[in-house]
Chains A and B, each alone.
Chain A
Amino acid sequence: MPKVILSVDDSRSIRQMVSFTLTQAGYQVLEAVDGKDALTKLAGAGVDMVITDLNMPNMNGIELIREVRKQTKFKFIPIIMLTTESQDATKQEGKAAGATGWIVKPFNATQLVDVVKKVLR
């Protein structure tokens, strides 16, 4: 059974890119448009990993990471955040909230798959 990755981003094109790349790499990808949506989707499906943007409406990435980590069944789930170079403080905040790692935008397909392989088995 392929591993399921939840891609959370308010940008449709980024979701599309993540989804396309990871599906090609043999993963199953679910998409969510913001933190709230992500929590709903996490409740339903057996997600093995989360890749989330940080700046999103309704519930941002940091809050999402905190909420996910609070749930016992996601205590150890790998969570990767998508950041930009100008967001170092936010990156630290994300780590404190329980993020596993990060990918700096812009990234390409290889970098994305490398990071996923690094944290998800």
Chain B
Amino acid sequence: MDRNQLIFFEEARDLLTELEETTLAIEHDPENMDLIGRIFRAIHTLKGSSSMFGCDVIAHFAHDVENAFDCVRQGKMTVTPALITLTLASRDHIALLFQDLLKEKQPSEKVIGQGDEILTELRKLLPVAKAEQTAAHAAPEAGAPARQAQQKKMVYRIRWRPPQNIYLTGSNPQYLIDELKEMGACEVILHSDGLPPADELNPDFCYFRWDLLLTTEKDERAIRDVFIFVEDDSELRIELLGDADYCDQETRQEIIDVLTSMEDAPIEHLKAIIAPHSVRMQSSAMPIIQQQHSSVQQQPSAQQQQQGAAQQDHKEKDKGIQSIKVPSERLDKLVDLVGELVIVQARLSQAASSSVDPAFRSIAEQVEALVWELRDNAMSIRMLPIGTTFGKFNRLVRDLSAELGKEIQLVTEGEETELDKTVIERLGDPLVHMIRNCIDHGIETPAERLAGGKPRAGMIRLSAVHAGSFVHISITDDGRGLDTEAIFNKAVSQGLIGPDAQLSNQELYALIFRPGFSTNTVVTNVSGRGVGMDVVRRSIDDLGGQIEVTSKLNKGTTILLKIPLTMAIVEGLLVQVGRDYYILPLSIVKECVELPSMEERRGNGGELINVRGDIVPYIRLHDYFGSTDPVLEHEYVVIVEFDKTSLGFAVDVVCGQHQTVIKGLGAMYSDVKGVSGATILGDGTVALIVDVPAIVTEIQHEVQQPGKPALAYN
């Protein structure tokens, strides 16, 4: 597959997305001419490009869809739900065809059959006249059709009066005459009888007409093709005078004389000149006379004028393209390199801070400022608006709600909110899961809704908003809400909690994210299998994000996702344990407190600390990571809040804030617990990044074993 085709496939994907989005949008606004125009353009471009790049199957298919929207555009047809459904079906069909083409195989009979079905349905919607026209659409007309060679040389008389404004349409009669000359011996006779009086003369106009005597092997159609762009507006007559063999130099001169002297030499007259010679066979090669009337040269110097204009400001640089497409690997590489640079810069700053050379320190400071700026820029390049992900949910909601017999409207807000590319990519699936859940569990059927005094159609609101270094994405529905009682009963029956457990709503909501947990009694093909929410939870954890659930029975549910803007570089809190360094993600750090040296120890092997009246459990990182270094007399506890749980980490020294460039640990250490990555400090030391979510989950799991007290929530 060549490069052009690959670009085409990439572009086709964008066009299909555009087609889908606009089609869905038009459902709510069927008379929006702007949207209709966009739909038409998307299909039109798809069709045009497909035929350009050899995807004739797609071009053929798209033709009818294009036709339908052409009718809509011209007001001959209205947008109906049937048309929308068929357009979406067509879009999917085209996507299917592309998949096959990408694999470089022919679409199967079945796929073609499906396509034909769609087209048959679509044609039924078209106005009658148009449908007939569609059924047998004309063979493509080419700009320069193949020229058929004709063996025998023939003599033609061509009479041509170009439109007066020929120069103003960018054509030049001389070019066309030159083209004729390339076809064979050509005599040019110019007639200036059309010239107006000098005071009425417009120098931009062409007042001449020509008689041309052409001897060529090409046929009349080929000659006509020379005039293809001007034929409609010209007076053009191409007449065959006779066989070139019977037209020697003398005869030719005779004809030229007639053409020059007579303004409108009748064709019979000219034929008569050749005819008597037809008995005389001419076997020698035809001498060629290149005669050209001098006044042809006096045409307005359009060409020179044009060149003058062209050169006029060629010094001015081309303004350049507003945006460019770059393979994402290159961006990843860039961010990688910036990460390395940030690390080296940290070393430089550290070296500078211990230097007495003021010049060196000033350079280090400048480098630092530049590196931060570079980092921010590199990060912003990878930012994409989240709307790209939102777009596909319209389709999901439409299809699923139709399947389940529900009426649901999806409202999206904050599409322009930007997030790192990788984050957006990894958010797609969790969002799909959650929206599926909303549609299946959340929103009731129209009948149930009406009975509950709610509007018939349910609503799902998807919104994104910036909050510091986080983006808050919320999915709100106005459905039945989470039934805490059902969750409780289910959890008891699954043995997750004891029947006498006292749980807050938040704790109950947290249960829905446990693997295998579903309160839906019936498994539909949409959801209810109990896989999903735990996957959602895992994905969001991996992104370093958090989930919050709020719900009110019969009013609806809101799931709030707090997602960090980027995953490559995070703000961290650097702490020291023995001789080792660790990083805690700053975003979840609540506070740091001093650990009283004689703190009473109790609990399940962990310890508890009293923070202004709240009892917070803490973990000694010394113990957790099995450090053999001596514990310092004064310890600190870093309190983090994760998943509504407060947890402390006892450390020796809190070093301070640190720009953390996250490095993977590699496949060897991928299953090491409690550590999510590593970073390199200014002096080259490696610091491990503590995987707080994993530790919290691990602890919660441990303490929920029977007989052990639950971890304190606050």
A contact patch SS: mixed
Name the residue of chain B whose CB is nearest to the CB of A32.
B321
Ranked 5 nearest A-B pairs via Cβ: A101-B229, A100-B170, A73-B309, A46-B314, A13-B8
Closest CB in chain A relative to B195 CB, distance in Å: 20
Q: Does the CB pair A46–B141 fall under 8 Å?
A: no
Q: A14-B52, A46-B311, A99-B169 are in contact. List 14 more A-B contacts (CB 8 A).
A: A10-B45, A13-B5, A13-B8, A37-B322, A44-B317, A46-B313, A55-B45, A76-B167, A76-B168, A82-B48, A84-B44, A95-B232, A104-B143, A114-B144
Q: Does the CB pair B309–A10 fall under 8 Å?
A: no
Q: Does the CB pair B140–A106 fall under 8 Å?
A: yes
Closest CB in chain A relative to B608 CB, distance in Å: 62
Q: Report the stretch among B59-67, B416-424, B694-702 that lies at the interface.
A: B59-67
Which of B8, B172, B302, B310 has the most A CB atoms < 10 Å from its CB?
Answer: B310
Q: Does the CB pair B48–A105 fall under 8 Å?
A: yes
Chain B positions within 8 Å of A, measured between CB atoms, are 3-5, 7-8, 10-11, 38, 40-41, 44-45, 47-49, 51-53, 59, 63, 66-67, 70, 137-144, 167-172, 175, 179, 204, 228-229, 232-233, 302-303, 305-307, 309-314, 316-319, 321-322, 325
- Contact residues in A for B171 (Cβ distance below 8 Å): 78, 100-101, 119
Q: Does the CB pair B306–A77 fall under 8 Å?
A: yes
A81 to B318 CA separation, bound complex (whole angstroms): 22
Q: Does the CB pair A44–B52 fall under 8 Å?
A: no
- Contact residues in B for A11 (Cβ distance below 8 Å): 11, 45, 48-49
Which of B8, B59, B67, B229 has the most A CB atoms < 10 Å from its CB?
Answer: B229
Band of interface residues on A: 35 or more
Q: Does the CB pair A107–B137 fall under 8 Å?
A: no
B contact patch SS: helix
Q: Does the CB pair B228–A101 fall under 8 Å?
A: yes
Name the residue of chain B whose CB is nearest to the CB of A10.
B45
Q: Does the CB pair B141–A85 fall under 8 Å?
A: yes
A40 to B320 CA separation, bound complex (whole angstroms): 10
List residues 65-121 of chain A with CB under 8 A from any CB of chain B. 69, 72-79, 82, 84-86, 95, 98-107, 111, 114-115, 118-119, 121
- Report if A26 contacts B (CB, 8 A): no
Instruction: Report which of A16, A44, A79 forms a contact with B318, defined as CB distance below 8 A.
Output: A44
A74 to B168 CA separation, bound complex (whole angstroms): 9
Answer whether A41 and B143 are a contact pair too, CB < 8 Å, given A76-B170, A86-B67: no
Pick 17 A–B contacts, CB within 8 A, sort by A. Answer: A11-B48, A16-B4, A41-B319, A44-B318, A48-B307, A55-B41, A55-B45, A76-B170, A76-B302, A76-B305, A79-B170, A84-B48, A86-B137, A101-B143, A107-B142, A118-B229, A121-B172
- Report if A56 contacts B (CB, 8 A): yes
A58 to B53 CA separation, bound complex (whole angstroms): 25
Q: Does the CB pair B169–A98 fall under 8 Å?
A: yes
A30 to B140 CA separation, bound complex (whole angstroms): 28
- Report if A25 contacts B (CB, 8 A): no
Q: Does the CB pair B45–A115 fall under 8 Å?
A: no
Q: Does the CB pair A85–B232 fall under 8 Å?
A: no
- Contact residues in B for A118 (Cβ distance below 8 Å): 144, 175, 179, 229
Instruction: Report which of B49, B228, B316 forms a contact with A45, defined as CB distance below 8 A.
Output: B316
Q: Does the CB pair B310–A47 fall under 8 Å?
A: yes
Instruction: Report which of A14, A31, A73, A115 forms a contact with B144, defined as CB distance below 8 A.
Output: A115
Closest CB in chain A relative to B667 CB, distance in Å: 38
Which of B44, B144, B170, B171 has the most A CB atoms < 10 Å from its CB?
Answer: B170
- Contact residues in A for B172 (Cβ distance below 8 Å): 76, 119, 121
Q: Does the CB pair B313–A111 fall under 8 Å?
A: no
Q: Does the CB pair A75–B204 fall under 8 Å?
A: yes
Name the residue of chain B whose CB is nearest to the CB of A106.
B51
Name the residue of chain B whose CB is nearest to the CB of A72.
B309
A65 to B106 CA separation, bound complex (whole angstroms): 40
Q: Does the CB pair B169–A73 fall under 8 Å?
A: no
Name the residue of chain A whose CB is nearest to the CB of B230.
A101
Closest CB in chain B relative to A31 CB, distance in Å: 7
Chain A positions within 8 Å of B, measured between CB atoms, are 4, 10-14, 16-17, 20, 30-31, 37, 40-41, 44-48, 53, 55-57, 69, 72-79, 82, 84-86, 95, 98-107, 111, 114-115, 118-119, 121
Q: Does the CB pair B41–A56 fall under 8 Å?
A: yes
- Contact residues in B for A56 (Cβ distance below 8 Å): 41
Q: Does the CB pair A74–B142 fall under 8 Å?
A: no
- Contact residues in B for A12 (Cβ distance below 8 Å): 7, 10-11, 325
- Contact residues in B for A79 (Cβ distance below 8 Å): 169-170
Q: Does the CB pair A14–B41 fall under 8 Å?
A: no
Name the residue of chain B whose CB is nearest to the CB of A37.
B322
A106 to B46 CA separation, bound complex (whole angstroms): 12
Q: Does the CB pair A107–B52 fall under 8 Å?
A: yes
Answer whether A76 and B140 are a contact pair too, CB < 8 Å, given A17-B4, A95-B232: no
Q: Does the CB pair B306–A13 fall under 8 Å?
A: no
Q: Does the CB pair B318–A98 fall under 8 Å?
A: no
Q: Does the CB pair A13–B138 fall under 8 Å?
A: no
- Contact residues in B for A77 (Cβ distance below 8 Å): 170, 306, 309
Answer whether A98 and B170 are a contact pair too, CB < 8 Å, given A46-B310, A118-B179, A119-B175: yes
A106 to B325 CA separation, bound complex (whole angstroms): 25
A98 to B319 CA separation, bound complex (whole angstroms): 26
Q: Does the CB pair B59–A4 fall under 8 Å?
A: no
Q: Does the CB pair B11–A48 fall under 8 Å?
A: no
Answer whether A45 and B318 are a contact pair too, CB < 8 Å, given A13-B7, A111-B144: yes
Closest CB in chain A relative to B54 CB, distance in Å: 8
Answer whether A121 and B311 are a contact pair too, CB < 8 Å, given A45-B318, A104-B140, A107-B52: no
- Contact residues in B for A47 (Cβ distance below 8 Å): 310
Q: Does the CB pair A104–B48 fall under 8 Å?
A: no
- Contact residues in B for A31 (Cβ distance below 8 Å): 321
A69 to B141 CA separation, bound complex (whole angstroms): 27
- Contact residues in B for A98 (Cβ distance below 8 Å): 168-170
Instruction: Report which of B4, B144, B310 forms a contact with A13, defined as CB distance below 8 A.
Output: B4
Q: Does the CB pair A111–B169 fall under 8 Å?
A: no
Name the residue of chain A whose CB is nearest to the CB of B229.
A101
- Contact residues in B for A41 (Cβ distance below 8 Å): 318-319
- Contact residues in B for A16 (Cβ distance below 8 Å): 3-4, 7
- Contact residues in A for B170 (Cβ distance below 8 Å): 76-79, 98-100, 119
Q: Does the CB pair B141–A44 fall under 8 Å?
A: no
Closest CB in chain A relative to B126 CB, distance in Å: 13
A118 to B171 CA separation, bound complex (whole angstroms): 9
A53 to B48 CA separation, bound complex (whole angstroms): 10
Name the residue of chain A whose CB is nearest to the CB of B140.
A85
A83 to B138 CA separation, bound complex (whole angstroms): 14
A10 to B312 CA separation, bound complex (whole angstroms): 28
- Contact residues in B for A101 (Cβ distance below 8 Å): 143, 171, 228-229
- Contact residues in A for B137 (Cβ distance below 8 Å): 85-86
Closest CB in chain A relative to B454 CB, distance in Å: 40
Q: Does the CB pair A107–B143 fall under 8 Å?
A: yes
Closest CB in chain A relative to B163 CB, distance in Å: 10
A69 to B167 CA separation, bound complex (whole angstroms): 11
A103 to B140 CA separation, bound complex (whole angstroms): 11
Name the residue of chain B whose CB is nearest to the CB of A69.
B168
